[in-house]
Amino acid sequence: MAKSSLAATTATETGEPAHVAGTGNRCDTTSLSELSIDGLLDDWKGSHVFARVGSPGDGAVELHCAWDGQGLALMFDIKDDRLIRVKGGHEDHVTIALAAGGKPVSIDVYPGNSMAKPKYVKPAKVSVADSLQPGGFSVEVAIPANAIPEFSPSTPAFELEAVFDDSDAATGGDTTPLRIKQPIELGDRKDLLEDFLGTVRLKKTDIKLDTLVDLDPDHAGKERLVAGGTVIGVLTDQFGYVTLPAQSPSDVLEIKLLPLGPKGSQIISALVRQTGNGGSRDLLMLWTVWSGQLSPLVNIEVKKELSGNVLEATWKIVKGTKAPELVVEPKPAIGFTAENYQEIPADDADSILLPWDDKKSGIAYSVTGKSIERRELPVAKKKKKR
């Protein structure tokens, strides 16, 4: 999986780059209780400009924002010398979409003037107000974090898209919508990531996987899974991690999510190669996550190689009778036979399956709570010769 990007992409509808100033992708840290959502600008004096797009002559939008860990406030200062509200016609309005990895919160604001009263289309928990300003109008919005679908303590950023639809067609003005589209980094979450990377001695360039996923049945919402080097971490309002038993990052062959977890959640898998004594083995390692911490489920030997001789197993997810199962089955041996294979069974993992085993043809693994369950697959009976 590719590392998720938090790079800003702020542009007009035509693709021309907009000038972004101030705090980059972070909002001011201001308690929303200190803001009055009344459409006025007095609460925002001294705040930083989060993004700016357009030009005053044809219309411009300046965005300010505040985040306090519990909610997000947005203020749009819009320069437009002709505010158009026409019943049954195309009207000036601002459309806002804010997402945390799920369905966005959508808000439409039609500002009020002498021609029409303000009109707001919004969820019940969201507060909105507007007011006329010299040369335009302003809009204030307050969105509680718990009103944003899939928001969780792990959410590293919001995805914001705001569009000012300018209806100057009747007067011959520029009608190109002005668009701000960029992530809003949550400063407290970014600091937690930096603390995690510092603790495990990783750089941001070492990160190979950074995604939000439902891992923890004991936690509401998604968790942030971050992996790089020989470390796998889970970030919520804290972080937990495991260090893989690999000599170097190149020995971590794969990190994947498997749909084996309880209540529809995922589990974490890592394929790790270990070398020594003239040979090597590959371990398939599985974890579930509970209360923000990685909980080991099982280590499974899936390949052993010595002097060109190879034992290897396949694995796949199948639909079980009660829950999904991970089915591990042996491949035909290369070089090894029942007579010359002298390896002692592993004491730190489920040993490699032997293709000449006459008692089982494989093992099916399933997850129950924090535990792994094993079911031996029977050897197919040979047909009797007639």
94 beta partners: 109, 164
Predicted pLDDT of residue 277? 85
Domain ranges of the chain: 32-185, 189-377
How far apart CA 193 and CA 204 sit, in angstroms, is 9
91 by Cβ neighbours in 10 Å (0-12 / 13-18 / 19+) ranks as middle
Predicted pLDDT of residue 168? 63
Residue 314, both tokens: 């396949």
Q: Which residues, in sequence order, are CB contacts of 384 under 8 Å at separation 6+?
A: none
- DSSP-derived secondary structure for 34-47: G---SS-SGGGTTP
pLDDT tens for the chain, 386 residues: list them.
Answer: 333 222 233 333 333 434 343 346 889 988 999 999 999 999 999 899 999 998 766 778 999 999 998 999 999 999 887 777 666 667 788 999 999 988 999 999 998 887 788 899 999 999 999 999 988 899 999 999 999 998 888 888 899 999 998 776 445 555 678 899 989 988 777 778 889 999 999 999 999 999 988 898 877 778 889 999 999 999 988 899 999 999 999 999 999 999 998 777 899 999 999 999 889 999 999 999 988 899 999 999 999 999 999 999 999 999 988 889 999 999 999 999 999 998 889 999 999 999 999 999 999 999 988 899 999 999 987 666 66
Q: Provide the H-helix boundaries in the chain.
A: 187-200
Predicted pLDDT of residue 193? 87
Backbone angles phi and psi of 28, in degrees to 5: -65, 145
Predicted pLDDT of residue 20? 40
How far apart CA 29 and CA 50 sit, in angstroms, is 12
Please tell me the chain's helix, strand, coil percentages from 3-state DSSP, rounded to the nearest 5. 10, 45, 45
How far apart CA 343 and CA 276 sit, in angstroms, is 14
How far apart CA 8 and CA 264 sit, in angstroms, is 33
Q: Residue 69 to residues 113, 154, 222, 267, 272: CA-CA distances in angstroms?
A: 34, 12, 17, 28, 38
Residues found in the chain: 386
CATH number assigned to the domain covering 32-185: 2.60.40.1190
Give the position of tokens 């043809």.
Answer: 361
Q: Residue 9 to residues 3, 76, 268: CA-CA distances in angstroms?
A: 17, 18, 31
Predicted pLDDT of residue 24? 60
248 by Cβ neighbours in 10 Å (0-12 / 13-18 / 19+) ranks as exposed
The one-letter amino acid code at 316 reads K
Residue 374, both tokens: 């094993």
Strand-strand pairing, 279-290 and 267-276: antiparallel
Torsion of CA 194, 196, 199, 203, to 10 degrees: -60
How far apart CA 65 and CA 51 sit, in angstroms, is 9
Q: Residue 54 to residues 27, 59, 133: CA-CA distances in angstroms?
A: 20, 6, 17
The one-letter amino acid code at 385 reads K
350 by Cβ neighbours in 10 Å (0-12 / 13-18 / 19+) ranks as buried
How far apart CA 347 and CA 230 sit, in angstroms, is 22
